[in-house]
Amino acid sequence: MLGYILRRLILIVPTLFGIMVLNFFIIQTAPGGPVEQMIAQIQGTAVGATERFSGSTSGGELMQRGQTDAGNSTYRGARGLPPELIKRIEKMYGFDKPIYERFWLMMKNYAVFDFGDSFFRNQRVVDLVLDKMPVSLSLGLWTTLLVYLVSIPLGIAKAVRDGSRFDISSSTALIALNAIPGFLFAILLVVLFAGGRYFQWFPLRGLVSDDWHSLGLLGKMTDYLWHMVLPIASMVVGGFAGLTFLTKNSFVEEIGKQYVMTARAKGLVESRVLYGHVFRNAMLIVIAGFPAAFVGALFTGALLTEVIFSLDGLGLLGFEAAINRDYPVIFGTLYFFGLLGLVMNIVGDLIYTVVDPRIDFAARAA
């Protein structure tokens, strides 16, 4: 098994390299890059997220350094700006180098986890990611755990009572919950319980209160959980259906197999049959989706939740970076989540062997 893990770890390198190559050249060749964003800032036409530009060199300073002669440029909105100014902007963002050289320098730095500085924030990318990480980890971890802790027992109960009134009524409730968009449910929770119109039982902003550092250990834990109730509820409400039905169908399929009937014929109690034989076979397909579910909840699935509840996490950071064409942040977070996803796939394989020790990836690979 150790040899298999080492091979998988080695395969991370070319896989991650391929991910970065594909995304780098697609994003770098797309219009509206950081040079054009800065030109829009100078021209006063920047909109949206670019209005929050706070780089170390302002458009006015660059304009003062340039000459007054207009020149031609391949960048949109650059008409009337001096060529020297365009060259200064290109050099500031590293666009004075060929694209292959920019990629090589980026990957060489990423190999030692040097992600550089954000184009539009006065912070290192690592500091930005670490600053937003507690919010995203809280949302992703609690959401994934709650969905799995509820869906798996519920799916097993539905499989055992397949076709019963409990099965039909719970399926109806799950389908109804699944039909509610997460962001709409989040708004409903705000209106009902966060001072929107009725009750003000839960806070609306932030991960913790302003006086969190002055609280004791129990007070800190209570305050943190108090802030997490509504965001987590909005994220998990639509996550139960898919995993519950997957668990139920997997167990129903296994319960109908010959080895289950044989175990029952030998006089084994139902709980021993269900959890001693069926469980490890039926859970394999459920476990297979755990890495993707965790990474999805950690990053992409939390964007609207972060916006509604004013939680400044990685989802919002990635969205703003994409709007601003903040390439260091885009590629830094892509590298991090790509690496995390590949590692989580290996963790998923290890969980396979824990659930069913008969699985031997090393022998299969050989």
Q: CA 264, CA 326: separation in Å to the nearest integer?
A: 61
Rounded Cα distance between 66 and 11, Å, is: 48
Residue 45, C-beta contacts closer than 8 angstroms, at least 6 positions apart? 77
Integer Cα distance of 160 and 193 in angstroms: 36
- The pLDDT tens digits for 72-110 are 456 665 666 677 777 887 777 777 788 888 888 888 888
Q: What is the average pLDDT across 237-247?
A: 83
CB 341 within 8 A of CB 329: no
Q: In the block, which residue shows the tokens 């022998």? A: 363
pLDDT at position 307 over 70? yes
CB 204 within 8 A of CB 306: no
| Residue with the larger pLDDT of the pair 359 and 348 | 348
Per-residue pLDDT at 166? 92
| Position with higher pLDDT, 365 vs 338 | 338
Where is pLDDT greater, at 363 or 151?
151
d(CA 340, CA 133): 13
Whether the predicted pLDDT of 61 surpasses 70: no
Mean pLDDT of the chain: 78
Residue, of 364 and 316, whose pLDDT is higher: 316
pLDDT at residue 361, rounded to an integer: 61
| pLDDT attached to residue 111 | 85
pLDDT of residue 38: 75
Asked whether 29 and 95 are in contact (CB, 8 A), the reply is: no
Fold of domain 126-365: MetI-like fold (1.10.3720)
For the chain, how far is it from start to end, CA to CA, in angstroms?
A: 11
Question: How far apart, in whole angstroms, are the C-alpha atoms of residue 75 and residue 322?
Answer: 19
CB of 275 closer than 8 Å to CB of 171: no
In the chain, ranges of CATH 1.10.3720.10 domains:
126-365
Confidence of residue 66 (pLDDT cuts 50, 70, 90): very low
201-212 per-position pLDDT tens digit: 888 777 788 787
**Among the ranges 285-289, 301-305, 335-339, which has the highest mean pLDDT value?**
335-339
Of 242, 243, 212, nearest in space to 225 by CA: 212
Say if residues 70 and 81 touch (Cβ distance below 8 Å).
Answer: yes
Task: Examine the pLDDT at 57 and tell me if it is beyond 50.
Answer: no
- Judged against a pLDDT cut of 70, whether residue 363 lies above it is answered with no
Q: Which residues contact 210 (CB under 8 A, 6 or more apart)?
A: none
Q: Using one digit for the tens of pLDDT, what is the confidence trace for 141-152?
A: 888 888 888 888
Q: How many CB atoms lie within 10 A of CB 246?
A: 18
Residue 45 is predicted with a pLDDT of 57
Q: Does 5 have pLDDT greater than 50?
A: yes
Query: According to the model, what pLDDT value does residue 172 have?
Result: 92
Mean pLDDT to the nearest integer, 282-302:
70
Q: Which of 41-50, 65-74, 181-190, 318-327 has the lowest mean pLDDT?
A: 65-74
Helix axes of 327-355 and 125-160: crossing angle, nearest 10 degrees: 30
Q: What is the pLDDT of residue 51?
A: 44
What type of residue is 216? G
Percent of the chain whose pLDDT exceeds 90: 2
Q: Residue 253 and residue 108: Cα distance in Å, rounded?
A: 50
Q: Which residues lie across from 198 on neighbouring strands?
A: none
The pLDDT score that the predictor gives to residue 168 is: 92
H-type alpha helices, the chain: 2-29, 34-43, 59-65, 83-92, 99-110, 125-160, 165-178, 182-193, 217-236, 240-255, 258-265, 270-273, 279-288, 290-298, 303-308, 314-324, 327-355, 361-365
Q: Say what the pLDDT of residue 299 is.
A: 62
Average pLDDT over residues 293-304: 68
Query: Is it the case that residue 68 has pLDDT exceeding 70?
Result: no
Residue 55 has pLDDT above 50, yes or no: no
- Quick one: which of 307, 258, 262, 254 has its CA closest to 283? 254
